[in-house]
Homo-oligomer: A and B are copies of this chain.
């Protein structure tokens, strides 16, 4: 259930790879892979806007990561985020201590369509950098998942270890070749892609565009999770508009809101030229 609530910080620590893990105590249900929350510091109006972060993992009452069961939607007593410090909002977030409170709005967005609903029990997940986030829960839903993780270097790549308990094969590529295949994650995808693949992707826009193009030319379905600067997170400010190809535009026109109609889109509907 979407709600605006206060949650207590359980932990907020830097992981091996530099990204931070933020655990919050929050009774939540209806959680799906690809959902996100808008987070803010209470009692501060600068920065003004809340910041969107994707749901990473679900916690139990003790603040431990829930052993994954193949059930969706998920529910738990806490949630975990994984985030990079890139600017003012995330810096402020990184200063929060256990016991501090945050305000958060969510779960928001459509989340990824479930493989089961798309008539399959397997999928190829492609994550670039923080694009790993939606795939922990997704991998937990699959009998036979494949996660292709594009990292910058060895530090980043260490995040893939989070997936070790999941019924999911993980392949890593790094730009510097220090771990896994050297090069871009799309090279890994090229090896695995077949016309009946179901591809999920999250990461930098250029990666998503490439994945969408590869899937399309292989005749495979692909769903991508997009990012846009957001103000409201609930479809009312119209700030996070993304352009839809004319042939896929509905009665409401060629724009869709990433926060409320996304962040996950069937990649064939996106006007990629408008994105990058």
Contacts and interface: CB of A to CB of B under 8 A. Distances in A.
Interface in A75-94: 88, 91
A88 B46 CA distance: 13
A45 interface: yes
B46 A46 contact: yes
Interface residue tally of chain A, by bracket? under 10
A116 interface: no
Interface string A220-264: 000000000000000000000000000000000000000000000
B46 A45 contact: yes
A243 B97 CA distance: 46
B43 A46 contact: no
7 contacts: A43-B88, A43-B91, A44-B44, A44-B46, A45-B46, A46-B46, A97-B97
Interface string A40-67: 0001111000000000000000000000
A43 B44 CA distance: 13
Q: Is the interface of A mostly helix, strand, loop or mixed?
A: loop
Nearest to A100: B95
Q: Which 7 pairs from chain A and chain B are nearest by CB?
A: A46-B46, A45-B46, A97-B97, A44-B46, A43-B91, A43-B88, A44-B44
Tell which of A45, A46, A91 has the most Cβ of chain B within 10 Å: A46
Contacts of A97: 97
A9 to B, nearest CB: 13
A214 to B, nearest CB: 42
Contacts of A43: 88, 91
Contacts of A46: 44-46
Contacts of A88: 43
A44 B97 CA distance: 18
A246 B139 CA distance: 81
A76 to B, nearest CB: 29
Interface string A149-187: 000000000000000000000000000000000000000
A44 B91 CA distance: 11
Nearest to A95: B100
A46 B45 CA distance: 7
